[in-house]
Amino acid sequence: MSGLALSGVTVAYNGRVVLDGVDVRVPARSWVALIGPNGAGKTTLLRAVAGLVGHSGTIEIGGRPTVGMTRRRLSQLVAFLPQRPVLPEGMSVSDYVSIGRTPYIPYWGTESAEDREVVWEVLERLELVGLADRQIESLSGGESQRAVLARALAQGSEILLLDEPTSALDVGHQQQVLELIDELRVEQGLTVLTALHDLTLAGQFASHLVLLDKGVLVSEGPAREVLTEERIEQHYAATVRVVDQAGAGLTVIPIRTGMLPDKVAVPNE
């Protein structure tokens, strides 16, 4: 089982430090969510784990440091989905999902029978079989998010890094996608690290939250410890109510302040 451990991870772009000595532990089979305002360093942290940006400090997968691993080896261990994945125009859904098998295919080679079976299983699991021949750009938002997830699953890695996997979806599809990720986590023993903007969803789905602000880890722990009204005010400059509803977890509700008096009312018909 491959857990993920970051210690003292620092990333700088052109001399500007965007992630500063962060320690994060993601135990195997758990779901940890990175939260924090825009520019906090959530995406940078995910990219550092995926080997897409250089870092100092250590990142270990199952106890082995990622520095020195080949790109191919790392991509067998870690699948990364950016916030806005590129969907190549004209590519069929099954060809797109097959791209996930790249770390196992010889450099100039082509998919083996085993690769094709894995792709088929993933398509089946994510209910994409009926869409396998469709062009990827013709899918709806929810369907294409499932196709993107299918590509990551086809990669067969135990660690899934998802950058805002629900940012383009409506509330219903947000819930469905996150529930699907959670089912897959349990079923296939995945370790999940996501960046999430929606604090309520982050608290509901992740067992552990990591709050970053300006590249620094400012708080971590279960949702009840991290999501306090004061802390959200301090780091997001947002006025919220945090409601703890029995059975439904925490709900973070933004409160409108300074409402203007001349708001035009819409008359009832």
**Is the Cβ of residue 50 or residue 227 nearer to another protein in the bound state?**
50
Q: 222 and 209 in contact (C-beta within 8 Å)? A: yes
- We find the least distance from the C-beta atom of residue 113 to another protein, in angstroms, to be 8
Q: 74 and 52 in contact (C-beta within 8 Å)? A: no
The residue within the footprint of another protein, chosen from 75, 166, 174, 204 (CB under 8 A), is 75
Q: 160 and 140 in contact (C-beta within 8 Å)? A: no
Q: 251 and 242 in contact (C-beta within 8 Å)? A: yes
C-alpha 98/C-alpha 96 separation (Å) is 5
User: Cα 203 from chain centroid?
Assistant: 14
For 202, other C-beta atoms within 10 Å of its C-beta total 26
Q: Does 245 contact another protein by CB under 8 A?
A: no
- We find the least distance from the C-beta atom of residue 161 to another protein, in angstroms, to be 9
Q: Does 83 contact another protein by CB under 8 A?
A: no
Q: 50 and 71 in contact (C-beta within 8 Å)? A: no
**Is the Cβ of residue 41 or residue 156 nearer to another protein in the bound state?**
156
Q: Does 116 contact another protein by CB under 8 A?
A: yes
Q: Does 14 contact another protein by CB under 8 A?
A: no
Positions 35 through 74 that interact with another protein (CB under 8 A) = 47, 50-52, 70-74
Q: What angle do CA 148, 151, 157 make, to 5 degrees?
A: 125
H/E run at residue 161: strand 159-163
**What does the per-residue mask of binding to another protein show for 204-233, with x meaning CB under 8 A?**
------------------------------
**What does the per-residue mask of binding to another protein show for 142-161, with x meaning CB under 8 A?**
-------------x------
- We find the least distance from the C-beta atom of residue 243 to another protein, in angstroms, to be 38
- We find the least distance from the C-beta atom of residue 87 to another protein, in angstroms, to be 8
Q: 20 and 213 in contact (C-beta within 8 Å)? A: no
Write the CB contacts of 54 (distance below 8 Å, at least 6 apart in sequence).
Answer: 11, 48
Residues in contact with another protein, counted by CB under 8 A, come to a total of: 47
* φ and ψ at residue 82, rounded to 5 degrees: -70, 170
- We find the least distance from the C-beta atom of residue 227 to another protein, in angstroms, to be 30
Please give the residue ranges that form the binding site for another protein (CB under 8 A). 47, 50-52, 70-76, 78-80, 82, 85-92, 94-96, 98-100, 102-103, 105, 107-111, 113, 116-117, 119-121, 124, 132-133, 155
